[in-house]
Structure 1
Amino acid sequence: MQRLTLLSLGSINADFQVRVDEPAGSRETQLAHDLCRLSGGKASNTAYLGARFGHRSLLLGRVGDDELAEQALDPLRQAGVEVDNVGRAAGQSTGVSMIMVPPDGKKSIVLATNANDCWDDAAIEAMAAAIDGCATPACLVLDYEVPARVVSRALEVAARNKIPAVLDPSFPERLDQALLPTLQAITPNVSEAEGLVGHALDSLDKLADAARQLQRDGPALVCIKLGDGGCVLTTADQTLHIPPGDVEPVDTTGAGDAFTGVFSVALLEGLEPREAAAWGVAAANLAVTGYGSQPAYADRQQVIELAQKLLEKARRLDG
């Protein structure tokens, strides 16, 4: 298999994760257990998957000059991710994600972006130079948990180098709609898609219409990640619903990142969009069966086996 390059730009966090026995917010003070200190953040998670699937994986982002930076970066180094292009924001804390996981596995997160939002001009140009100097074939996967001007500059450089880009639009209010035509794909969840189209999406028909609307605005592919683990995919010639597998959620942390990361890897490897989306759904489904994000991510063979089963259940939503 040819070794390709995945570039991951976005949030890099130190995760502090606990289990709670009641839904988050059910009382002022809750008892918790099973504390885990992990590496997290959207870019960290997709970079981890790039390396796990056997490709060169470069992480682009910012951490602080504190001790939490190593919590965020060391597990990635051990997994084979290249972190030399991660900058240190002087006087800032590394991004922190505080995660509570109740019995149903549907996590609640409080995110302090910290260093993720601290980019000066020199840091932005260093990031641009890393993309400029990247070996191709490559794919850029990025999110808006860094400043909008960072995303805009990255997409500009990627387009100049003919590197396709996949965007996870978190946070959607930061997205510049004028950039949509520069994307190969966009992967919002339902609430993010609602923010982008401006109305509720409470049925598959409405989700399909929203995906087609976003696809007309520019991205070649739109994948809306569904709360049940499935997705709605729109391409130039079809809209498809890929349902979730039959899994029992233990922890939904990082499932959306698993989708975006593996979907991007599959596109990078040249898979057809429907196959790539099925890989993404399979990766997200398998991710919820373990505790934590990166420690729960499945390997290539597990993803392929489940994706093949999911494609048999896919159906078109073309109206």
Structure 2
Amino acid sequence: MSVVVLGGINMDLVSITPRFPQAGESVVGTRFLTYPGGKGANQAVAAARMGARTAMVGRVGDDIFGPQLLATLESNGIDLSGISVSPGVSSGIAVIDIDESAQNRIIQILGANDTCGPDEARAVTRSLVRASTVLLQLEVSLDLSLQVADDASSQGKRVILDPGPVRPLPEEFYQVCDVITPNETEAQALVGFPVVDPDSAERAARWLVDRGVELAVVKLGDQGAYYATSEGGEFVPPFQVNAVDSVAAGDAFNGALAVALAEGQDIPQAVRTASAAGALAVTKSGAQDSMPTREEVEGLLRAQPRA
């Protein structure tokens, strides 16, 4: 199976700190790290490590980070023919703080990601000749994402949207997305009420299905996930792991979900597969470095079978 990803390609600048500072406060951190990241690139690596032929479409800047970002994607066997370099622009940057409980706060500078446009739309169209699924996020232009989703949907391809970073979605987006996978914060922004637990996640997932998506999965981090379709829904309990770094867990989830659905797994099993991938991602530091392999995901599914 083949997957094409349109999205952000970032360098993550990561500070590890015992706790987050209050406004106006300085705290002493313990480590500083740089990792290749970006929601799109992370999801491409996740899908590739799950065994999919994967193409990445996006842009990097002509700075010191661009070659590093491309090299990491290439080392994971990802097709880079849809990636361009934007002259005079920095690569996308994510400034990430992580506290001792593995929670994170992120500030994104879109950089070259914000220069994606018609060339990237054409690159996705070329890749869709071979791909069954397109993965989208909101790190590139909303208009571009909507155009690509509409085009892919008209070709009968599966469209999966990770609606982050948070921004309002036009109603027509729900009509051209087959799957939407917000986390709690993103879900709350979309539905307009707090999403903090499985009960509120169920309400949010059903709200999204009512707008037109076939499958809504609300990711609750260490609380698990809730999915809904027009035929019903189910809470998927979390896997038990030792969390180190929660960055990119949702990206691992989405990449694995895309592959599982493309393989023909039924929805309950596909969401469990995705949940296992997300759980494994939090056991390692970094974004793309933490994306699990197919063998690791299958091992966790065997070790913690469905009750």
Using a 3 Å threshold, how does the CA distance of structure 1 residues 175 and 87 change in structure 2: closer, same or farther? Answer: farther
* In 2, Cα distance between equivalents of 1:24 and 1:70: 33
Please give the secondary structure, in 2, of the residue aligned with 1:155: helix
2:101 — aligned with what?
104
2:73 — aligned with what?
76
- The code of the aligned residue for 1:73 comes to L
* In 1, Cα distance between equivalents of 2:15 and 2:165: 24
- The code of the aligned residue for 1:266 comes to A
1:286 — aligned with what?
280
The one of 191, 204, 207 aligned to 1:213: 207
Aligned 1:27-176 pairs, distance under 5 A: 28-119=25-116, 123-176=117-170
Question: Which structure 1 residue ranges, 5 or more long, are not aligned?
Answer: 314-319
* In 1, Cα distance between equivalents of 2:21 and 2:266: 40
2:7 — aligned with what?
10
* In 1, Cα distance between equivalents of 2:232 and 2:240: 25
Q: Identity over the aligned pairs, expressed in percent?
A: 30
Q: Which moved further from structure 2: 277-286 or 66-75?
A: 66-75
Aligned 1:179-258 pairs, distance under 5 A: 179-228=173-222, 230-258=224-252
CA apart distance, 1:203: 3.8
* In 2, Cα distance between equivalents of 1:143 and 1:245: 25
Runs of 4+ in 1 over 6 A off after TM superposition: none
> Taking structure 1 as the reference length, what is the TM-score of the superposition?
0.90
- The code of the aligned residue for 1:223 comes to V
Using a 3 Å threshold, how does the CA distance of structure 1 residues 201 and 49 change in structure 2: closer, same or farther? Answer: closer
Indicate yes or no: 2:294 matched with 1:296: no
Using a 3 Å threshold, how does the CA distance of structure 1 residues 160 and 202 change in structure 2: closer, same or farther? Answer: closer
> Taking structure 2 as the reference length, what is the TM-score of the superposition?
0.93
Please give the secondary structure, in 2, of the residue aligned with 1:224: strand
Q: Which moved further from structure 2: 154-163 or 29-38?
A: 29-38
Using a 3 Å threshold, how does the CA distance of structure 1 residues 130 and 213 change in structure 2: closer, same or farther? Answer: closer
Question: CA contact under 8 A between 2:4 and 2:124: conserved in structure 1?
Answer: no
Question: CA contact under 8 A between 2:44 and 2:78: conserved in structure 1?
Answer: yes
The one of 254, 265, 270 aligned to 1:260: 254
Question: Which structure 2 residue ranges, 5 or more long, are not aligned?
Answer: none
The one of 267, 270, 274 aligned to 2:268: 274
Q: Which moved further from structure 2: 131-140 or 168-177?
A: 131-140
Question: CA contact under 8 A between 1:278 and 1:308: conserved in structure 2?
Answer: no
* In 1, Cα distance between equivalents of 2:272 and 2:253: 9
Deviations 1:263-292 (A, max 9, x none): 111111111111111011111111111111
